[in-house]
């Protein structure tokens, strides 16, 4: 892990929580999390427009999990 520690994950991606935690990340629910204090956000891609993630002013990277394996998502987090 390279400096990313707290990851906000969309509820529909609950299968990622155990994997991310086993890799040493702290995982919080995106619906309940403030964007302040998270190091990255993972969304399913299905409702990005509904959540207005693209309009959010933040320096936090947003990872679209659509079409990616959990291993690909972890690798992307490690590159950040």
pLDDT 10s digits, 12-47: 898 899 999 999 999 999 888 677 788 999 988 765
d(CA 75, CA 72): 5
Global pTM reads 0.79
The H or E element containing residue 18 is helix 15-22
Backbone angles phi, psi at 71, to 5 degrees: -65, -40
- The pLDDT assigned to 30 comes to 87
Torsion of CA 14, 23, 2, 37, to 10 degrees: 40
Residue ranges per structural domain of the chain:
6-79
Is the pLDDT confidence value at 61 over 70? Answer: yes
pLDDT tens column, 32-41: 867 778 899 9
- Section 45-56 average pLDDT: 55
Is the pLDDT confidence value at 74 over 80? Answer: yes
37: left (phi over 0), alpha (psi -120 to 50) or beta: left
């Amino acid at each position: 892990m390279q400096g990313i520690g707290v990851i906000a994950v969309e509820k529909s991606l609950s299968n990622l929580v155990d994997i991310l935690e086993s890799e040493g990340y702290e995982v919080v629910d995106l619906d309940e999390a403030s964007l302040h204090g998270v190091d990255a956000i993972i969304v399913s891609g299905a409702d990005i427009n509904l959540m207005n993630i693209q309009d959010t002013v933040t320096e936090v990277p947003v990872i679209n999990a659509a079409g990616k394996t959990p291993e690909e998502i972890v690798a992307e987090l490690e590159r950040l």
